[in-house]
Structures are given as C-alpha cells and as structure tokens.
Amino acid sequence: MQVLLAKLKADSKFYAVKVLQKKQKNIMAERNVLLKSLKHPFLVRLHFSFQTAEKLYFVLDYVNGGELFFHLQKERCFSEPRARFYAAEVASAIGYLHSLNIVYRDLKPENILFDSQGHVVLTDFGLCKEGVEPEGTTSTSYLAPEVLRKEAYDRTVDWWCLGAVIYEMIYSLPPFYSRDVGEMYDGILHKALPLPPGKSEAVCSLLEGLLQKDQHRRLGPSPTLVHKKMVSNSVSRTPELNGSSSSNNAFNGFSFVATEDSFL
C-alpha cells in the first residue's frame, strides 16, 4: 500500500491518493466502505476513485495534521479537557459508522489523524466489516476480551477500543500494557482496570464503563455520544468533487508531488 501526495491541476488543491494492489488483503472492505460516500466531518472523505488492471486508487482528503500516535509519542499524554474533546469527535464518527451498520474494528492512534484545524479524522477502513451480527466471529487481533476469547462480538468492540485510546491519551500507555504479550492478554481478560490516582472521577468512570470486560454491560453509544454537543457542526472540510473513473485518463487531472512528503 502506498499513499501519495497529489495536486489537482484544475484547482491546485492537494489530495492524498491511496494506492492498493487488487490482490491485497482487506481491500474490498475498504472499497465498500469508501464507496458508501461517507459524509461526516470526522471521517476521511473519498473524492475520486479509479483503477488499472492491478491497482485501485482512492483520492481522499489530504489530512496534514499528523497522527494521534505521533502527538502522543511527542507529548506522552494530554490534559483531560483535550482528551475529552478528541474522544467526543471519535465517538461521533464511530456512532455514525454504526448507524450505517459498519463496525470499524481498527481504532488506534495510528488511524486517528488531525486536520489543519486540529479536528480528528478517522482513516483506514481496511478492517471495517459491514452488517456484523452478534453471532459473527472473526480472527482479528482486536484486544477486546471477547475477541481474545474468540467469542462472538459486535459493534461494542469499537467502544472498548475508544476506551483504550482515551486511556492512552490520559495515562500515556494503553490499558494493561506489557512488553510481554501473554501478560498483557492476561490483564485484558482477567485483571481489574488499573486507574492510577490524580484523574477526575468523571474520566475514571468513563474508562471503567468503556473498558468493561463484559460486552453486554459495556458503556454504549447513548451515554458516550452525549459529548457530541461540544463539537461544532460547522467544521471546514475539503469541498466535495464529483466523479469516479475506471480509466487511466483519471490520472490526467493530477500532478504527483515528487518530494520526501510524497509517501505519507
């Protein structure tokens, strides 16, 4: 997989062009989700798509604020108000996907980007699954307890992952983190959630609700998404463009930027 920085010749705006081999695993999941024409301020938006015999090309928003992972590596942790703001935006995006019967399944700091205004943008839909039913079981590497036990799971895995991301933003490491994978899995499955002192009762309560080992008792969307009132509904985004193509002529509208930043 490659991501190239490209400029549309018609208006000189920059876009990210994601290049996928057709034989690549999970490509159809990403294609199906992107082609749903997702319209949400905190999800990356597809503007064009085209293909060659061996590759698919998705022309997406160019999101230039870096990954949450990068900012956490640099700053270690965030204040509670800052973490709460990001969590509200992520929860809003996850709730929107769930309303379309899509389970994201891959929520982690590497897949949470920031735009130029500091708002989150979820990207990388390669592990999304549409129409997931409670009885559907998969062998993904999600760290929710029910997934580790290879039991049936549903969209509640996304709320566990949101809890893990919030925990990392607050405490600088994921919950139950250990360099020993077996020890980490044991913590996820059996140990009480560690909540070091110094944080508010509200954030501790939220983390306990989201990181509930019993998926049927886990905090769901209604209590979580109450935070969406904090988020502006008028977030500036790249304007929508029309059209997709299956022809190589689609390349003619773009000039690819040959710099060190070409690969994002």
* Active-site amino acid positions: 106
Which of 139, 75, 134, 131 is CA-nearest to residue 103? Answer: 131
Measured distance CA(64)–CA(44) in Å, rounded: 12
- CA distances, 254 to each of 24, 59, 242 (Å): 24, 10, 15
- Around Cβ 259, how many Cβ atoms within 10 Å? 8
Measured distance CA(125)–CA(24) in Å, rounded: 13
Find out whether 60 and 46 touch, Cβ atoms under 8 Å.
yes
Two structure tokens written together for 129 = 């699954």
Which of 222, 90, 228, 216 is CA-nearest to residue 156? Answer: 216
For every residue of 89-153, DSSP letters joined together read HHHHHHHHHHHTTEE----SGGGEEE-TTS-EEE---TT-EET--TT--------SHHHHTT---
